[in-house]
Amino acid sequence: MSFNEFNATKSTRNILGGVYDAVITGTYFLYAGGRRAGTLNCGKITCSGKEEKVFVIGVNEPCTSFRGQVVAVAKDRLEEEEDVWIMAPERTVLYEPRLIALLGKYLPADRYKYVCYYEKSCGAVMYTEIEGVRKFILITNISGHIGFPKGHIEIGEDEKQTALREVYEETGVRTKIVDGFRESYNYLINGFIKKKAVYYLAPFNAEDVKMNIMEISEYRLVTFEEALSILNFKHDRDILTKANSFIDSINADS
C-alpha cells in the first residue's frame, strides 16, 4: 500500500488540489534525462497565518507571482525539514514519477515522500484456459481489496511496462500484452486523491503462477461468472466484461 493510501494527513487533504497565490523569490532551470525540462520557480505562500515553502513547475519562464493548484506535497522522511508544496497551473495532471524526475535534485525521493493529488496504477486482466474453460486471476491485496494485478507507475516506465512488471511481481508470471485492449477508470482515494487505473489484457499459463506473499495475500483462479461475483467494485466488473468479450472476438477471428 502506498504512502498516499494510509499516511495522508488531514492537513494534506485540505491542501491538495487547492488553488493559491504564491510569491516567487527565485528561479532555477530543471533538467530530466540530461535535457532542459522547464523552469522551477521557488517561493512561498501565506496560508492560515503560516508561511509555506512552494515549488512551482509547469511554467516555462521566471515569474514574480503565480496562481495555481497544489499537485503534491513533499514531506521529509526524517521530519527535519519543512514540507514543500508543489504547484502547477490548474488542471495540470502530474504523477509522482514525473515529479521525481523533475525535482529529484532538490527533493530526492530517498529523503522525501511525495503525497500527490494525482496517482496512476497500471495492470492487466490475466486469462488462461484449463480443459477448455476460460479462467482469470484475481488477487487479494494486503488491504483486502480483490481485483486484478496492478501497481504504481515508476520512473522511466510507460503504462505497458508498469503492467508487465506488476504482473510479474505479484504473480511470478512473465507474459505479453494483447494488442488492441486498454481500459481505464478514475476514482478517489481517501475521498480526495484522484487515482487513474489502467488495464491491459494478458494471457498466462496456470503452472507459471508463483504468488509473491510480500505483494499480495491471496490469488484465485476463477471463471468469468465467478469473478463477476467476487470483484469488489463495479468498475472492475465492467473491465472484466469488456476483456471477456474482447477475448471472444479474438477467438472468433482466429
Quote the CA–CA distance of 212 and 208 in Å, as a whole number.
Answer: 12
pLDDT tens digits for 152-170? 999 889 999 999 999 998 8
pLDDT tens digits for 9-59? 566 788 999 999 999 999 998 887 778 888 999 999 998 888 999 999 999
Sign of the CA dihedral with 147 first, then 149, 152, and 153 last: negative
Q: Could you tell me the domains of the chain?
A: 9-116 (no CATH), 119-253 (3.90.79.10)
H/E run at residue 11 = helix 10-15
Average pLDDT over residues 186-204: 92
Residue 216 has pLDDT above 90, yes or no: no
Give this prediction's pTM: 0.85
H/E run at residue 72 = strand 65-76
What pLDDT score does 214 carry?
56
